[in-house]
Amino acid sequence: MKIAILGGGCVGLTTALAVQEEFRNHHLDVLAENFEQTTSHVAAGIFRVSPTFSGPTDSITRKWISDSYHYYEAICRSREASEAGVTSISGYIFANTSPESVKNDLMEKLVPIYRPVTDDEIELVGGNWKYGSFLSTLLTQPNQYLPWARNKLTASGAVLKKYSVKSLKELAKDYDLVINCTGLGSQSICQDRKLVPIKGQVIKVRAPWLKTFFYGEINTYIIPNGNGTATLGGIRDFECSDLTVCPYQAAAIRDRCERLVPSLKTAQLIEHKTGLRPHREGGVRVEAERIKDGLCSALVIHNYGHGGYGICTAPGTSKYAVELARDAHRSSAKL
């Protein structure tokens, strides 16, 4: 069977790994416009899923999140953890809006620790916070995980190709199965008007003393990267596709983060980064369809629209996408 994965970010590469594990005697191509500059490269990589993250049903959503966490947890416990860039991390979420804003039903029963902060802990940071939670979770470094995934794929026979897909139909003559993980690219490839770009902007700084992550009302976050650097964020500009670094937003991010953790005032600037989160109204799309081009046809499984939670949930949606492909392949084989 000839298989194509579209997309070179975390969702695409993780899906390709799942395909290699599920299907035998196949030829696998991973097609992407770029493997080095994707939205995944901008992400901080912490495993924290918003309570509003959604798939087609609540049970499927929870399974995606659970499968994803256990995927990264298995890597974290393996000999490949350092190469893949997966480590454990703990930290705090603070808020003033309401006690509900520091709770997370999708995370609380999944991670090892998720508890209210003590009175002493709420004094650890700057600001007069009313509510807080402490949790232990996982961190995946994109600049390590993505090369690790690419190396595993090519070592097992996959071919990575730089290729710009204009239409899914153009692939029908060359592939039996296509899994579409193009994120915002599906706006044009699938004419999906439910996809909306949400611009993100972060600052990378050198802060080797930081070992704990901090959130303040979610829009302010400080995430150590495990290599002496930290990611400071962030912004969420709805329907904004401009990747230019905004100096005013950069100044606001730095100010909010320094007020939350004052020691960051001495942190050395490394770089500013921007990216476009592929948000999809109605939730992530993981579903099957069949495409035809004349007499040629191929099965397509869509796996896109993860918003800002692509790294968090890629393993779960990838597993689900491959299960859809497997079931469809078995059904066609019986005909």
**Mean pLDDT across the chain:** 94
Q: What pLDDT shows up at residue 251?
A: 97
Closest CA to 110 of 143, 158, 149, 61: 61
Q: Residue 328 has what pLDDT?
A: 84
Q: Which residues of the chain have pLDDT under 50?
A: 334-335
Distance of CA 280 to the CA centre of its chain: 14
The confidence score (pLDDT) of residue 333 equals 56
Provide the 8-state DSSP code for 264: G
CB 189 within 8 A of CB 180: yes
Q: Is 51 helix (H, G, I), strand (E, B) or coil?
A: coil
Give per-residue pLDDT as tens, 135-157.
999 999 999 999 999 999 999 99
Full-model pTM: 0.94
Domains of the chain: 2-334 (3.40.50.720)
- 316 cis-preceded (ω within 30 degrees of 0): no
Residue with tokens 């004094």: 123
- The strand order across the sheet containing 2-6 reads 159-162, 27-32, 2-6, 177-180, 296-304, 285-293
Instruction: Give me the pLDDT at residue 335, please.
Output: 41
pLDDT of 155? 96
Per the CB < 8 A criterion, the answer to whether 190 and 178 are in contact is no
pLDDT at 66: 98
